[in-house]
Amino acid sequence: MKKKVISVLLSMAMVASLTACGGGSGDTGASDSSGDAAAQDSVPADDAAADDAAADAPAAGEDAAVTEGAAAGDNTLTVWTWDPNFNVYAIQKAAEIYAEDHEGFTVEVSEVQSDDIETRITTAVSAGDLSTLPDILLMQDNSFQKYVINYPDVYTDLTSSGIDFSQFSAAKVAYSTIDGKNYGIPFDNGAVINCVRTDILEEAGFTVDDFTDITWSDYMEKAKVVLEKTGVPMLTAQAGSPDQVMMMLQSCGSSLFNEDGTVNIEGNAELKEIMNVYVQMVKDGTLVEVTDWDQYIASLNNGTAASAMNGCWIMASITPVEDQSGKWALTNMPKLDNIANATNYSNNGGSSWAITSNCQKVDLAVDFMNSTFAGSTDLYDDVISKGALATWAPAGESEAYAQPVEFFGGDAIYAKIVEFATHTPSNITGAYYYDARDAVGVALSNICQQGADMDSEIKTAQETVEFNMGG
């Protein structure tokens, strides 16, 4: 397929709908349409609760616009996903590419929101009838392990499918890996980027290089200089949201859970170090908490923050301010000083495809995925126009990803982001990820806004999650 590498494609990518990864108005960096917010943690961990959820859920056949069940045609696959400008477009473009060598191949795509997909899975399992499920569906990365753990019969084991998972970011693959088995095909990139205002840094005597490959202690001192000389804080964050903490935690390969599934909050040296950094920056005024997502985005657009540190989807909220073109640069995040496994890389947001156990044409579904999302630079060269950045490493070597982006100082940011993803450490999500995430958010809020004792709040967070787990 002829590659469409043109400058307008690249500019479209910066303002396209990146909401499949994040940038919504929820209480986290992830968007409403992506379902990555804590509110998406709607599936109960036990069968009794699942039955209650199913009773309140819409009937499986209630929405006539949703194609249910496996496709009947030999060359057709049914798909559930959300966001017509992002995920729906990507799967349809993948089908178009695959059909070039597989005559008659089609996909029947139903637009189903992330939380509705999760509800429909719960309903199908509770009803003991998986026939309502499609051949392929998209799952939020942070929800993936929870659903496979709770509902293992829904998912097809792809470990020996022939898909080369080593070509994807290891951290991305880990989200859909349970007990050493692969259940998902990675899709969009949530690699963390540090976007800085070069004009504000210059006023303080710095360049983007001064904020590249550095530690948090160095970052904190330079942030004080920026604030002193410009009056602008280095960072802003939504009050009560632990996004920054979670990104920092994953950057050193640490998690809120141990490998055996037990809670790892109290006694987690990395977490306490991170919370100390966060709280100190709030005290220093170099990190300012805002009340909601709209205020967070406004701080980036109106110059009341010198940088944005978030998943790469945050670019879509930065680039619409045309008169700031050339005043931004992109680099990696700081790493923790005293942690052995600390890196300058992390992740926030993203999703992966799953093939359901209801699929009657697993070989076709696997070959389709292997030939496109796990094997086509043409696909990723095209969907970059929608802001979909790959975690499939070969895509980062294509001509489209190597093009300079004027808004970010002429840097080849797309290739850089794919590289960032390859360095990101894995973390453990499990079935109670959002419970733990919320508990840490409450602790952080109490410490920053009420002056609560950190050790006591961390202990309470641990006990809260253990209680929710029934421990």
Query: Could you give the 3-state DSSP secondary structure of residue 339?
Result: coil
Q: What is the pLDDT of residue 373?
A: 97
Residue 9, both tokens = 């494609």
Amino acid 453: pLDDT: 97
Q: What are phi and psi of 12, to 5 degrees?
A: -65, -35
Q: Is the pLDDT of residue 96 over 90?
A: yes
The pLDDT score that the predictor gives to residue 192 is: 97
pLDDT tens track for 23-32: 333 333 333 3
Predicted local distance difference test score (pLDDT) of residue 57: 42
- Cα atoms in the Cβ-side hemisphere of radius 13 Å centred on 345: 20
Q: Is residue 102 very low, low, confident or very high in pLDDT (cuts 50, 70, 90)?
A: very high
Ranges 102-116, 263-277, 386-400, 433-447: which has the least confidence:
386-400
Mean pLDDT of 222-248: 97
CATH superfamily of 7-189+350-411: Periplasmic binding protein-like II (3.40.190.10)
The larger pLDDT score, comparing residue 133 to residue 315, is at 133
Amino acid at 167: Q
Residue 254, both tokens: 């640490």
pLDDT tens column, 245-291: 999 999 999 999 999 999 999 999 999 999 999 999 999 999 999 99
Give SS3 for 438. Answer: helix
Instruction: Give the pLDDT of residue 408.
Output: 97
Residue 30: its pLDDT value, please? 34
pLDDT-wise least confident of 15-24, 101-110, 145-154? 15-24
Query: Residue 388 pLDDT > 60, yes or no?
Result: yes
Q: Rounded to whole angstroms, what are the CA distances from 58 to 50, 54, 366?
A: 14, 8, 30
pLDDT tens digits for range 324-366: 999 999 999 999 998 989 999 999 988 999 999 999 999 999 9
For CA atoms 411, 414, 418, 424, give the dihedral sign.
Answer: positive
Average pLDDT over residues 75-93: 93
Report which of 396, 341, 384, 3 is spatially closest to residue 168, judged by C-alpha positions.
Answer: 396
Average pLDDT over residues 104-120: 95
Tell whether domain 192-346+432-468 is in CATH 3.40.190.10: yes
Residues whose CB falls within 8 Å of the CB of residue 45, separated by 6 or more in sequence, listed in order = 146, 150, 431, 432, 469
pLDDT of residue 386: 77
Q: String of b and e for 110-140 (b: at least 16 CB within 10 Å)?
A: bbbbbbbbbbbbbbbbbeeebebbbbbbbbb
Residue 21 has pLDDT above 60, yes or no: no
Find the angle CA(174)-CA(179)-CA(181) to the nearest 5 degrees.
65
Domain 192-346+432-468 in the same topology as domain 7-189+350-411:
yes
Q: Which of 18-27, 284-293, 416-425 has the lowest mean pLDDT?
A: 18-27
Q: Average pLDDT of the chain?
A: 87
Binned at pLDDT 50, 70 and 90, residue 417 comes out as very high
Average pLDDT over residues 310-320: 91
Mean pLDDT of 72-86: 90
Q: Is the pLDDT of residue 47 over 70?
A: no
Q: What mean pLDDT do residues 50-78 have?
A: 63
Using the predicted structure, report yes or no on whether residue 233 has a pLDDT greater than 50. Answer: yes
pLDDT class of 199 with cuts at 50, 70, 90: very high
Over residues 123-131, the mean pLDDT reads: 97
Q: List the chain domain ranges.
A: 7-189+350-411, 192-346+432-468
Residues 6 or more apart whose Cβ sits within 8 Å of residue 300: 236, 308, 314, 317, 318
pTM of the predicted protein model? 0.81
In the prediction, which pLDDT does 212 show? Answer: 98
Residue 79 has pLDDT above 50, yes or no: yes
Mean pLDDT of 159-187: 95
pLDDT above 80 (res 19): no
- Distance CA(453)–CA(315), nearest Å, equals 36
Mean pLDDT on 218-246: 97
Q: What percent of the chain has pLDDT over 70?
A: 86
